Every structure is written in structure tokens, then in C-alpha cells.
Structure 1
Amino acid sequence: MTKCFAAFLGAVMALAAGPALAEPVTLKLSFFSNDTEVNYAKVIKPWVDAVNADPSGAVKIDAYPNGALGKSLPAQPQLVLDGVADIAFINPSLVPGRFPDDQVFELPGLLKDLGEGTKLYAELVKSNSLRGYGDYHVIGSFMNANYNLYSRRPIRSNADLKGMKVRIVGPIVGQTVKELGMVPVLMPPNEIVEAIGRGTVDAATLVPAAVIDFGVDRVTSHSYLLDLGAGPLGVVMNRARYEALPAEAKAVLDKYSGAWINDLYVKALLAHNAEIIARFKADAKRTVVMPSAADLAAIKAPYEKVTAAWAAKDPNNAKVLAKAREILTQIRAK
């Protein structure tokens, strides 16, 4: 009788201890650049730490920064689909064939700042208004600040833009700079320094954070703060991998997805970008120029031309733009 009771008690204790002893689901996260890059240091790393510290212990994320799983930023979405990584930080503007509707964010004059851009991106993803996301579970949907120009030669007004070769991040930004008299050259951010050194480009469309992160401040000394459209950034997971997770693991990822990580991004990047511009203004070796009222008036027509041409190119473009404007009206009303 004593032996039977002991066996029964052991079985009960084993069952009770089972969930606590269960191994967490381990997921691989790919980040194309180094671990000091602002998006990684201020957003991705804190997010990974929060997930890994969750009391449930259901998920463990192994982060691979420094391009350990792949250094190409345009290739990151495919790494997720191929199973090289479960999760990756992506720039949809660099793969327009995969995320064609994300070009709406590049339209000049659409977004006021990265805060409302992040909210717009999240709502468009949530409403399934953007093609290309069917194979992905979206964890974070961020928006860059509006792109400005960072140049190795002085820019005092729009007149100085004529003929400049400028690095761009997406096709619509490319069309915008072309309308302003510049020559667009598409390339990822980690190639800019070498391109400016070789003379392949004279300037780059970037946000302040990227100027520092990719060392572009070392080869440029002139900032022209003309808004040239924005671009989305995301943290995505292979949808099939997500759907196959245990319920406990899904719950942890859901807890720190969406508003949690997006709010972290907005708070961190708004402050970081503002601090960099303030630092540039205080540096006697650098110039920071805001466009004049006349320059801002002069860009209205080309900006409207770029927007109208994109909307007319495809009925779906017009549909996405109308949806974006509807959501922005709601965001601004709040």
C-alpha cells in the first residue's frame, strides 16, 4: 500500500512539474547590421530582452546581429521564408516587388512625422490593405522619419539640388528627387559611405539616425532638411512558424507585439533623431539648412505630380492612398 501511494504521489508531482520544466520555444532573429545601430540597440534588443524575461518562460529568442545570418538588408524577408531566421528586421522599400503597396509611405508630403507614420502603417497592416504580408506575421511596424538630404557639398536652397547624384531608398523617393532635378541611385544604407567616397553619389536621402549609424556623417557635412517622403521598417516572423507555435508561446509574442514594440520605437527614435539634428546644428564644421518659404512653395507642384502619377498608375494604388488618407484623418482627429 505504501509503495502504491508513493508511486501515485510521484506521478502527480511529475505532472505538476511538467509545464514548469518544459523547454521554451527557441526562435532565431536576424539583424543585418551591427548591434550598435539605433534600431537594434534601442528597439530590437530591449524587445528581445522583454520576451526572454517574460515570467512564462515560453519563448527564448536568440538574436543574431552583425549580419550573422545575412548582411543584405533587401534579403531579410527571404531569410524568414527560407527558414534561415524565424524573425527579421526588414526594410520593405528595398524590395518593392514583394511589398508593392508600401510605396504609399514614400509619397512626399503625406506624413508629418514618424509617430503618425507608425500608427498609419500599423492600421494598414491590421486592415490587410497592403499586399505582400500574407506569408508574414507582423510583430512591429515602424516608420522612418521623413528623409532629408545629407551631402558632401553645400546645399543652400532647392537650386543647389540640380544635377546632384543622390542615393535613394525606394522608387517613389527616386521619382521625387528626379522631379527636383537630381539623379537618383538606389542602394542600401551600408553602401553609402563607399559610394560617396568613389563619387558614385554626392548625397544621400536618409534620416538623422542612419547618418550616424552608417558613418555617413564622416563623409558629409551639409544637411538640407527638405522632407522627401518616408519609408517603413518592420519586424516580421514567418507566418507558418508563428501559427505552429504552442498557445503559450503565441501569447508571449502577442503581448510584446504591436503597440508594445511600436510605442517603444516611436519614443526612442523621435528623441534620438532630434538629438542628432541638435548636435549637427551645434557643430561649427557642419551646416544645417531648413528650406525657405519660397523653396517649400516651389516643391508643392512636383510633390503633387509624383502623388498623382503614382495613384494613376494602378487602381490599387489609388485605393491604398485613399485608405491611408482616411486613416490619417482619424489619427489627426485624435
Structure 2
Amino acid sequence: MTKRFAAILGAVLALGTGQAVADPVTLKLSFFASDTEVNYAKVIKPWVDAVNADPSGAVKIDAYPNGALGKSLPAQPQLVLDGVADIAFINPSLVPGRFPDDQVFELPGLLKDLAEGTKLYAGLVTSNSLRGYGDYHVIGSFMNANYNIFARRTIRSNADLKGMKVRIVGPIVGQTVKELGMVPILMPPNEIVEAIGRGTVDAATLVPAAVIDFGVDRVTSHSYLLDLGCGPLAMVMNRAKYDALPAEAKAALDKYSGAWINDLYVKALLAHNAGIIAGFKADPKRTVVSPSAADLAAVKAPYEKVTAAWSDKDPNNAKVLAKSRELLMQIRAK
């Protein structure tokens, strides 16, 4: 038997017995916070498990939660570009210079809930309407629930907000709370507990899930459910890394990206946030206040002022806002 014939025979036997002809592509995923944080536990971990269990065996995701590759949430997009991680969970609001158009999601009164926001975000990404994503392949595009106010002192109405120092997550939310008489202070969520403990801030704009995940419930006991705009979250991959993947690996990732992971997020986070607010209402040591009809009417003018100022600031802002409203009309029509 010639060497050439033996090589051909070996290849044929390998294929016939189902022997793998290539090792899976291994990708590193960075998550800045604990593996018990809701986005990781209910969305990212199930996604990792699904990709790793795919029958193709083309991709293996090695997840690094608990900040193992980097604890700074604002730094996560750069970790992907630097090759420290291949995939990362990011908060674009914390890096507005990199993702300037994502400020549209923070506009107060634009979005009803996270389900609607997630659909809008996906629509804007797929239509290439948002700057800053050229170096990234977007695996999942999620929307936080509307930000509310969680404080260490009682808030019964909009009047109690005056002069309050409040942590904010993005510049437009900051402008919104400023119009309502508050003092905005930008900081990532994992610094809130210490800041409230020191008196640096009196309250924080957060979604219910984050109140629990980052321990803010330990230093606050009053919730004011005034919607202050939303914030995007995403799972992104280095685009060059994605483009260089074998076709089988791309297909495996694509199978669980987009609608698959976005739908998982919406289902899990809608229920989770609602459950937290229900628990707060049932706790006799806490107060949960929804704004009165008069207070909701009173914020309409400042909300419109913030929106108009952002739209007028840059022609591209107006373009993104118009596209967002167009997509929202389509989403609501369905």
C-alpha cells in the first residue's frame, strides 16, 4: 500500500466514522460583574451553554465572569478591540464618545418598555443607523427597563427631587434629571453603594434588576417609579475575529444571535424586573411611589425640552431620532 493511498484511506475512514476533522474555535467572553448578576445568569450563561452544545461542535465559548478579564464596565468595548476578549457584554451609555448615537435611547418618554426598546435597538443596528459599531459584530442588542429613582430618603412627588444628588448612567439621563432639579453624577453601577454610603449621592437612576445585582437595595429603601429614559446593553464580538471564523463557526454563532438571544433577554428581564418591584411593594420597610397624574403631566415639558435639545444639537441626532420614531411606528403597528 502506497503512502498516498494510506493517507486517502485514513481520511475516508475518519469521515465515515464521524471523527472530527477540526477542533472547535475557542472564543473568550468577558463579563465585568458577578456570575450571579441577572444578565449573566439568565441570558449570557444560557447563550454560552447553547452555543457550546450545538451539534456542529464548531465553537467553544470560554466565559470569564467576575471581572476576570477586566472589572471596568466602560472598558469592555476596548477589551474586545485589544484582543483581551473576543466577546464582551457592554453598556454603550458609559462610553458615549464611542457610541454617540446610542444616546437616543436615553431620551425620556421615547420607549414604553424594554421589549419595545430591544426591538428598536435591533432595528437600528441591522439598518446601520448607529455610529460606533463598525469594529464590532453585534451578537445581542438589549434594552434596559426605563430608569427609575432609588433613594435613601423618601420621595413622594416630583417636588422631593429638587436638589437631590443622583447617580446617572449617561449624559441624556443626566440632562433629564437636571431639568427636574436634581444634580447628576455619572458613575458605573458597581460604585453606587459606596457613593451613597459616603453621601456622595442621595439616590441612583437604575433599573430594578440592577438595584439587587449591585447591592443598592442595602443602602436605599425608597423607590420612585418615574420613567427617565432607557439605556442599551449589548454583547459584541471583535468584527475582524468574526470575519475570520470558518463558515461552520459563523453559522453556529449566528444561530443563537439576534432574535434568539434578544427574545431570551426580553422574556427573562421583563419578569425579573416586575418581580423585584412586587417584592419592594410587599416589604413594609420600603416605600414604592408611582408619580401622580399631575406629576406625569409636569414632566412632559422638560422631557420635550431634553429631546428637542438633543435633536437640534447635531443633524445626525435628528436623523437617528427620526429613524427611531419610524421604526417605533412599525413596531407598535405589529
| Common fold: TM-score over 0.5 | yes
The one-letter code matched in structure 1 to 2:158 is N
- Pairing of 1:198-277 with structure 2 (within 5 A): 198-277=198-277
The one-letter code matched in structure 1 to 2:50 is A
Name 1:26's counterpart in structure 2.
26
Per the alignment, in what secondary structure is the counterpart of residue 249 of structure 1? helix
Name 1:100's counterpart in structure 2.
100
108 and 8 in structure 1: CA distance in 2 versus 1, 3 angstrom threshold: closer
- Pairing of 1:170-209 with structure 2 (within 5 A): 170-209=170-209
Query: How far did 1:3 drift?
Result: 10
The one-letter code matched in structure 2 to 1:132 is G
- Pairing of 1:239-318 with structure 2 (within 5 A): 239-318=239-318
Query: How far did 1:38 drift?
Result: 0.1
4 and 47 in structure 1: CA distance in 2 versus 1, 3 angstrom threshold: closer
Query: How far did 1:12 drift?
Result: 2.3
- What do residues 82-121 of structure 1 show as CA deviations (whole Å, max 9, x unaligned)? 0000000000000000000000000000000000000000
Query: How far did 1:56 drift?
Result: 0.4
What is the rounded CA distance, in whole Å, between the counterparts of 2:327 and 2:4 in structure 1?
66
What is the rounded CA distance, in whole Å, between the counterparts of 1:218 and 1:75 in structure 2?
27
Query: How far did 1:14 drift?
Result: 3.8
Query: How far did 1:28 drift?
Result: 0.1
Query: How far did 1:7 drift?
Result: 6.9
- What do residues 147-193 of structure 1 show as CA deviations (whole Å, max 9, x unaligned)? 00000000000000000000000000000000000000000000000
What is the rounded CA distance, in whole Å, between the counterparts of 2:193 and 2:52 in structure 1?
36
The one-letter code matched in structure 2 to 1:256 is Y
- Pairing of 1:61-210 with structure 2 (within 5 A): 61-210=61-210
Query: How far did 1:4 drift?
Result: 9.6
The one-letter code matched in structure 1 to 2:70 is G
What is the rounded CA distance, in whole Å, between the counterparts of 1:92 and 1:15 in structure 2?
45
Per the alignment, in what secondary structure is the counterpart of residue 184 of structure 2? strand
What is the rounded CA distance, in whole Å, between the counterparts of 2:57 and 2:11 in structure 1?
23
241 and 8 in structure 1: CA distance in 2 versus 1, 3 angstrom threshold: closer
- Gaps of at least 5 residues in structure 2 are none
Name 1:38's counterpart in structure 2.
38
What is the rounded CA distance, in whole Å, between the counterparts of 2:4 and 2:197 in structure 1?
80
- What do residues 230-278 of structure 1 show as CA deviations (whole Å, max 9, x unaligned)? 0000000000000000000000000000000000000000000000000
What is the rounded CA distance, in whole Å, between the counterparts of 1:98 and 1:27 in structure 2?
24
* Number of matched pairs: 334
The one-letter code matched in structure 1 to 2:251 is A
106 and 2 in structure 1: CA distance in 2 versus 1, 3 angstrom threshold: closer
The one-letter code matched in structure 2 to 1:257 is S
What is the rounded CA distance, in whole Å, between the counterparts of 1:297 and 1:188 in structure 2?
30
Per the alignment, in what secondary structure is the counterpart of residue 63 of structure 1? strand
- What do residues 189-227 of structure 1 show as CA deviations (whole Å, max 9, x unaligned)? 000000000000000000000000000000000000000
The one-letter code matched in structure 2 to 1:187 is M
Per the alignment, in what secondary structure is the counterpart of residue 20 of structure 2? helix
What is the rounded CA distance, in whole Å, between the counterparts of 1:98 and 1:7 in structure 2?
52
Query: How far did 1:11 drift?
Result: 4.4
- Gaps of at least 5 residues in structure 1 are none
The one-letter code matched in structure 2 to 1:144 is N
What is the rounded CA distance, in whole Å, between the counterparts of 1:219 and 1:44 in structure 2?
28
The one-letter code matched in structure 2 to 1:315 is P
The one-letter code matched in structure 2 to 1:291 is P
The one-letter code matched in structure 2 to 1:103 is Q
TM-score w.r.t. the length of structure 2 is 0.97
TM-score w.r.t. the length of structure 1 is 0.97
Name 2:58's counterpart in structure 1.
58
Query: How far did 1:10 drift?
Result: 3.3
Per the alignment, in what secondary structure is the counterpart of residue 326 of structure 1? helix
What is the rounded CA distance, in whole Å, between the counterparts of 2:4 and 2:247 in structure 1?
35
What is the rounded CA distance, in whole Å, between the counterparts of 2:120 and 2:140 in structure 1?
12
Query: How far did 1:20 drift?
Result: 1.6
Query: How far did 1:21 drift?
Result: 4.1
52 and 158 in structure 1: CA distance in 2 versus 1, 3 angstrom threshold: same
What is the rounded CA distance, in whole Å, between the counterparts of 2:312 and 2:177 in structure 1?
19
Query: How far did 1:22 drift?
Result: 1.6
The one-letter code matched in structure 2 to 1:326 is E
Query: How far did 1:331 drift?
Result: 0.2
Deviant stretches of 4+, over 2 Å: 1-12, 14-19
307 and 59 in structure 1: CA distance in 2 versus 1, 3 angstrom threshold: same
**Aligned residues with identical type, % of pairs:** 90
